Amino acid sequence: MKIQSKKGIQLGQAFGAVLTLVIVAILVIVSIYLFTSLTTSMVVPGTTGAAVNESLARPTTAGITLATGSGLRNGACGTITAVYNTTNGGAISSGNYTQVGCLVTNKTSDALLGATWKYNYPYTYDASTSASNASDTMITQFVAYPALVGLVGTIIFLGIVIGVLVASFAFGGKKGA
């Protein structure tokens, strides 16, 4: 008795499944690249602003980061123009701190300078447009896809292996007469 049709996936059919998985992965990668390129091309570079009385804790010797300037897209902090003590409103001289970019470190342990300081400084950043925000949102949504592609790839691979094993054991042996 001959078996006319074998159930399961054949090794020759695996090529199509693997090719489909590879094409989907390539399309996802190309899409992420395009949206990243669009995001950077749809911003307004070099937009300026000024932080006035930004209240932060007195910097430690490890430093603190100026929040407004560093929190924006490609934000860069300019030189601090004034620092005030929030306890008594007195000005804090530049000899009491150092600034490198948006990082401010304390050079004194004088408790009279208060626990919180107010900073005034200019900053530049790349202003987002609605189109760049939409691209950013799309990129965020793509984050889940690589895990999904990996899961689908694993399922296809296991299906091929199981199909080949079942086909070889179930239909491969000769039956005795």
* Domain ranges across the chain: 11-41+131-171, 44-127
Per-residue confidence (pLDDT) for residue 11, from 0 to 100: 63
List, in sequence order, every residue forming a beta bridge with 69; answer none if it has no partner: none
Read off the pLDDT band of 14 (50, 70, 90): low
The mean of the pLDDT values for the chain is 80
Task: Using the predicted structure, report yes or no on whether residue 152 has a pLDDT greater than 70.
Answer: yes
In the block, residue with structure tokens 């447009």: 129
Read off the pLDDT band of 34 (50, 70, 90): confident
> Residue 128 is encoded by which pair of tokens?
């987002």
Per-residue confidence (pLDDT) for residue 119, from 0 to 100: 94
Q: What is the mean pLDDT of residues 93-122?
A: 86
Per-residue confidence (pLDDT) for residue 173, from 0 to 100: 55
48, 37, 130, 25 alpha-carbon torsion, rounded to 10°: -150
To the question of pTM greater than 0.95 for the whole model, the response is no
Identify the three-state secondary structure at position 62: coil
